[in-house]
Homo-oligomer: A and B are copies of this chain.
Amino acid sequence: MDPTLSPSPPDLDLPTLKRVLEAALLTSSEPLALGDLKKLFDHDVGNEPLRKLLEELRTDWEGRSVELVSVASGWRFRAKPEFQKYLERLQPQKPPRYSRAVLETLAIIAYRQPVSRGDIEEVRGVSVSGNILKVLETRGWIEVVGHREVPGRPALYATTPAFLDDLNLRSLEELPPLDDLGSLVEEREGLQEATAETAARAD
For the complex formed, measure the closest distance between the CB of A141 and the CB atoms of chain B, giving whole angstroms.
Answer: 20
Binds B, one of A20-28, A99-107, A113-121, A155-163: A20-28
Known: A26-B26, A79-B27. A36 touches B66 (CB 8 A): no
Q: Tell me how far the C-beta of A180 lies from the nearest C-beta in chain B, rounded to whole angstroms.
A: 30
Q: Please classify how large the interface on chain A is, using the bins under 10, 10 to 19, 20 to 34, 35 or more.
A: 20 to 34
Q: Does A64 contact B (CB under 8 A)?
A: yes
Which residue, of A22, A80, A90, has the highest number of chain B Cβ atoms within 10 A? A90
By a CB distance below 8 angstroms, the chain B residues around A26 are 26, 65-66, 77, 79
Q: Given the complex of chains A and B, what is the CA–CA distance between A90 and B77 in angstroms?
A: 16
A36 contact set on B, CB distance < 8 A:
90
User: Bound state CA distance, A136 and B79, in angstroms?
Assistant: 33
Chain A 97-135 residues near chain B, CB threshold 8 A: none
Which residues of chain B are within 8 angstroms of A77 by Cβ–Cβ distance? 26
Q: Is A40 a contact of B90 with CB atoms below 8 Å?
A: yes
- Residue in B23, B64, B66, B86 whose CB lies within 8 Å of A79: B23
- Cβ distance A87 to chain B, nearest Cβ, rounded Å: 6
- Are A87 and B40 within 8 A (Cβ)? yes
Whether B23 contacts A87 by the Cβ 8 Å rule is: yes
Most buried by B among A23, A24, A64, A77: A23
Q: Provide 16 A-B residue pairs closer than 8 Å at the C-beta atoms, listed in order of the A residue.
A: A19-B65, A19-B83, A20-B65, A20-B83, A20-B86, A20-B87, A22-B65, A22-B66, A23-B66, A23-B87, A24-B86, A26-B26, A26-B65, A27-B66, A27-B87, A39-B90
Given contacts A23-B80, A23-B83, A28-B90, 15 further A-B contacts (CB under 8 A): A19-B64, A19-B65, A20-B86, A22-B65, A22-B66, A23-B65, A23-B87, A26-B65, A26-B66, A26-B79, A27-B66, A39-B89, A39-B90, A40-B89, A40-B90
